[in-house]
């Protein structure tokens, strides 16, 4: 039986960077989390963090750099390559690691600068995967809580069993249900959620995705 997603996001010795308490530890991100906890073992003082957008990768990276005094390059693929190259070298000199958040790693990320390309070739990669079932439900519960709403357990199971498990879908589901409930002045119940997802085109009228 799978363990539920861990609601205690970061160890107590990690400073709580802005919104870091929203990072929910699960099988989908545990490997990336442990990678940052063991940063002293990295072969170089740099890492690339990749994974789906909205997956909490920025939350994890910000908490890490706050803890160790490192430097963060969010959306590193959009940064100047010379600047990344010099930041990488500086990190090796002063021991303050850099984290580069990227949608894709090389060679999908096509790096033009040869010197940066050689350095990224020896830079470790941490990956966050699409959410497992427990994390998906926890995210939906959290997003509803942000709106001051409580989703019943039977409705949460219904959602988890019928829609694609992704970070984007979790946000779409909550937005769709909330808008429907407001328009219909309906309480957040399983019948309301079923109708909201059907009217929103997320599932068909029979409840299938």
Say if residue 4's pLDDT is above 80: no
- Residue range(s) of every CATH 3.40.50.300 domain in the chain: 20-127
- Residue range(s) of every CATH 1.10.8 domain in the chain: 133-199
Q: What is the pLDDT of residues 119-153, one digit of tens each?
A: 999 999 999 999 999 999 999 999 999 899 999 99
The fold for domain 20-127 equals Rossmann fold (3.40.50)
The yes or no reply on domain 133-199 and CATH 3.20.20 is no
The DSSP bridge pattern shows strands 46-50 and 125-127 to be: parallel
| Local confidence band at 14 (pLDDT 50, 70, 90 cut-offs) | very low
Instruction: Give, rounded to a whole angstrom, the gap between the first and last alpha carbons of the chain.
Output: 25
Phi/psi of residue 46, nearest 5 degrees:
-160, 155
Q: What is the pLDDT of residues 47-87, one digit of tens each?
A: 999 999 999 999 999 999 998 999 999 999 999 999 999 99
């Amino acid at each position: 039986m799978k363990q539920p997603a861990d609601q205690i996001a970061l160890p107590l010795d990690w400073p709580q960077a802005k919104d870091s308490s929203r990072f929910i530890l699960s099988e989908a991100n545990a490997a990336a989390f442990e990678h940052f906890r063991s940063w002293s073992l990295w072969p170089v003082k740099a890492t690339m963090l990749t994974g789906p957008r909205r997956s909490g990768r920025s939350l994890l990276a910000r908490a890490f750099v706050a803890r160790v005094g490192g430097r963060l390059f969010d959306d590193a693929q959009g940064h100047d390559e010379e600047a990344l190259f010099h930041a990488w070298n500086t990190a090796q000199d002063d021991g303050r690691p850099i984290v580069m958040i990227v949608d894709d790693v090389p060679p999908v990320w096509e790096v033009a600068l040869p010197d940066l390309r050689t350095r990224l070739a020896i830079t470790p990669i941490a990956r966050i995967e699409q959410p497992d079932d427990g994390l998906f439900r926890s995210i939906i519960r959290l997003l509803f809580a942000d709106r001051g709403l409580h989703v019943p357990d039977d409705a949460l199971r219904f959602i988890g069993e019928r829609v694609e498990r992704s970070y984007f879908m979790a946000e779409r589901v909550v937005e769709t249900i909330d808008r429907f409930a407001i328009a219909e002045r309906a309480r957040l119940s399983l019948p309301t959620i079923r109708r909201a997802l059907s009217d929103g085109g997320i599932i068909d009228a029979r409840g299938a995705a």
